[in-house]
Chains A and B, each alone.
Chain A
Amino acid sequence: MSERDEMIAPADEVELSGVVATLGDDAEAISVAPNWKLVWWRFRRHKLALIGGVVIIFVAIVAMFPGFFSTQDPNETVATDSFIPVQKLRFWHNGRFQIHVFDVEGKRNPETLRMEWFIDETTIIPLQLFSHGYAYQQFGQFETDRHLLGVTDPESEASFHLLGTDRLGRDQWSRLMYGTQVSLSIGLVAVLISTVLGILLGGISGYFGGWIDMVIQRMIEILQSLPPIPIWLALTAAMPRTWSVEQTYFAITIILSLIAWTTLGREVRGRFLALREEDFVVAAKLSGCSQMRIIFRHMVPTFYSHIIAATTLAIPVMIINETFLSFLGLGLRPPAISWGVLLQEAQNLQSIALAPWLLLPGLAVIITVLALNILGDGLRDAADPYSH
């Protein structure tokens, strides 16, 4: 180290020496850093991908604690409260800090006999953080009634709807929170299943080659040349209507991953094929490593960052596909709540014209999918050792 320091003491370039010195250290550190650290260093430089990651962490927290973030029981229907518009969250009232929303007032239109809602800017509903509300179970274990946001006085009859209500007077905000849990976890579970299938079948195909490879390749080719959407539609339509919410949930994840694994399978196979010829794999073979050890200790670590990136990019596709299916009424069905189920309420022009806020859950889909795509791209670039 001292030699190096001597070497890089430019007499006439003092202002540069700082930069050069740190780079010198970096060069040293880079050569001994494990792969995941290198990936992280490269990833850190993608500012946009970092933002995407933060957004996803937020969405994931919501998905873990939907009860805490919701303001009302998502399945509670109040027939008289249908199509209440969005009540915007406000923070200042009469010059002092007070979280609140304006109350709404309903008048029945004498011609259409439909309830029409008006924001009443004179009365406010005061809100507070960490208030008590309806009771819910967290992780199916702990019962609590704490919520992030609620009316200050839980005894009052007042209710508020941050994203308005739907046809049946259900609170859309709370439904969105629960929908986040379902949609995100379906995406995750379906991707996990297809990742396992992809690595397993792709790995077998690429590592062993020969006729096994032939069979798996033809299988992938056939699966990939089938049009996915009609198949998904048909399969979900073939699910018995008597199935419980849990059963349909798992059936859908399996149906979605049946086709999705092929992409990852191809990629893994390609990597295995290339790696098989690499010197370090040959060396491992010659020194008597078992096949399992070669695969999992020597080969898989070289591309696991690619798998993570590919997986991240597959989640948004799954989320969109689940949304498609539920939107068309063939995926999850009420009382289950997912983003697609929520958007089903906005399926025709009459509903949207009457209550445009029914489209808002779509924004949640777009933001989440966007964040996942950007995050996945950042990860993929960072995982590529040859990228700059």
Chain B
Amino acid sequence: MNNLTKPLLTVRNLKTYFKLDEGMVKAVDGVDFDVFPGQVVGIVGESGCGKSVTIKSALRIVEKPGEIVDGEILYHPQKNADANDGPVDLVTLKAHGKKMRDIRGNEIALIPQEPMAAFSPVHTIGNQLIEAVRLHQKVNKKQAFDIAVQALHEVGMPNPERRMGAYSWELSGGLRQRAMIAMALTCNPSLLIADEPTTAIDVTTQAQVLNLLRSLQERHNMSIIFITHDLGVIAQVADFVVVMYLGRVMETGTVDDIFHNPQHPYTKALLESIPTVHSPSKELLPTIEGSIPHPFNRPAGCPFYPRCADFMAGVCDKRTPSLQKINDKQSVSCFLHHDKAEEDEAA
């Protein structure tokens, strides 16, 4: 892709911990990735791997007792007057301060998992869309109304003027998600974060929503971070893939590399567990041995070693592998592939 241009968003060594009475949950524990302009980055992983917390950290909407304890999230503002001043480290901004609020919704927008619950049931769709417009644009009510209707029109909402007066629970699941996307689009954001936007809707509608997102991305040249546990969805929409497990990045690479040339044992295991048309019928699919450890029982060393087929005793359970480039586009955090690099570091 556009590896030569500057990344829009750079996440480095991000750590977000939840301090509970029972102990510390390291939901995100050292995550690195980049998002380039116009790129669709898919973050994939099982539930509890920290993918949602990662993007909530980027939006700075992690709720107590969660807290970003380390790392940086560099963002290049595209709209503000200080657009040319270089990147802003979002971690240093006040979570509810003016600067962060100017970025949230305006530069980085969110499409949530459950459109049903994300709309207020006692305010009309229009009310909530107009509010989104007027939070970031100096327009009057009439203009805001027109912008909102335009956004609804763009996401393929039939009868957009009439829907402005509807309540979220009067719409079908697919339309509701379209309305959510419209709300995210009202301010023309540079980065759209979609948090499992298709989990709550049925498969046929899913495809429509995915196509819509893809076409909107091309039209507006937005970047999208797409979060899902569904590898099929990733294959459809993403350019670049980040595979996460227990708060850490296991592997990153282009969608082709990840699907056709996976390097990390976890990525390989994940891919083997999806059925394909070619796999023989009535045969058990391979599964990953064991289960995801309880968040308090995070293993030391590589988080995946207790379930790993290539576990090396005395190595994987002693030290944590860092994410290392193995070629131009692909990085892996596994001792199998870059113990040489580790040794270099040690030396």
Residue in A11, A12, A24 whose beta carbon sits within 8 Å of that of B297 in the complex: A24
Question: Which of these, B22, B23, B297, contacts A7 with CB under 8 Å?
Answer: B297
From A13-21, A129-137, A324-332, give the one contacting chain B: A13-21
Q: Is A23 an interface residue (CB 8 A)?
A: yes
CB pair A24–B296 under 8 Å, yes or no, is yes
Asked if B219 is an interface residue, CB under 8 A from chain A, the answer is no
Answer whether residue B220 sits at the interface, using C-beta atoms and an 8 A cutoff: no
Please indicate the chain A residues that have their CB under 8 angstroms from the CB of B173 in the complex. Answer: none
A interface, size bucket: 10 to 19
A24 touches B300 (CB 8 A): no
Tell me if A7 and B299 are in contact (CB < 8 A): yes
Q: Interface on chain A toward B: helix, strand, loop, or mixed SS?
A: helix
A214 within 8 A of partner (CB): no
A23 lies within 8 A of B300 (CB): no
Asked whether B294 lies within 8 Å of A27 as measured between CB atoms, the reply is yes
In the complex, A24 Cα to B297 Cα: how many Å? 7
Does A274 reach chain B (CB closer than 8 Å)? no
Shortest C-beta distance, A216 to chain B (Å), equals 29
Does B7 count as interface, using CB distance less than 8 angstroms? Answer: no
Tally A-B pairs: CB < 8 A.
32
Given that A7-B306, A27-B294 are known contacts, is A12 also in contact with B23, CB under 8 Å in the complex? no
Interface size class of B (residues with CB under 8 A): 10 to 19
Q: What is the CA–CA distance of A219 and B300 in the complex, to the nearest angstrom?
A: 63
Q: How far is the CA of A4 from the CA of B299 in the complex (A)?
A: 10
Question: Considering the complex, which residues of chain B in the window 288-338 have a beta carbon less than 8 Å from any beta carbon of chain A?
Answer: 293-294, 296-297, 299-301, 306, 317-318
Asked if B22 contacts A23 (CB within 8 A), the reply is: yes
Candidates A4, A11, A19, A27; contact of B300 at CB < 8 Å:
A11
A24: which B residues are within 8 A, CB to CB? 294, 296-297
Chain A residues in 8 Å Cβ range of B293:
7
Tell me the smallest distance from the CB of A103 to a CB of chain B, in Å. 55
Within 8 A of B (CB), among A322-374: none
* A9 / chain B contacts, CB cutoff of 8 Å: 300
A11 CA / B317 CA spacing, docked (Å): 9
Q: Is A385 an interface residue (CB 8 A)?
A: no
Least Cβ distance of B297 to chain A in Å? 5
Most buried by B among A8, A11, A12: A8
Per-position binary interface string of chain A over residues 135-146, scored 1 when its CB falls under 8 Å from any chain B CB and 0 otherwise: 000000000000
Using Cβ atoms and an 8 Å threshold, which residues of chain B touch A12? 300
CA distance A47 to B229 in the complex (A): 41
Residue of A nearest to B22 (CB): A23
Query: Which of chain A's residues has its CB closest to B300's CB?
Result: A10
Q: Which residues in A have their C-beta under 8 angstroms from that of B318? A: 11
Q: Give every chain B residue within 8 A of A8 (Cβ-Cβ).
A: 297, 299
Shortest A93–chain B CB gap in Å is 49
23 interchain pairs, CB-CB under 8 A: A7-B297, A7-B299, A8-B299, A9-B300, A10-B299, A11-B301, A11-B318, A12-B300, A13-B300, A16-B23, A19-B22, A19-B23, A20-B23, A20-B296, A20-B297, A23-B22, A23-B23, A23-B294, A23-B296, A23-B297, A24-B294, A24-B296, A27-B294
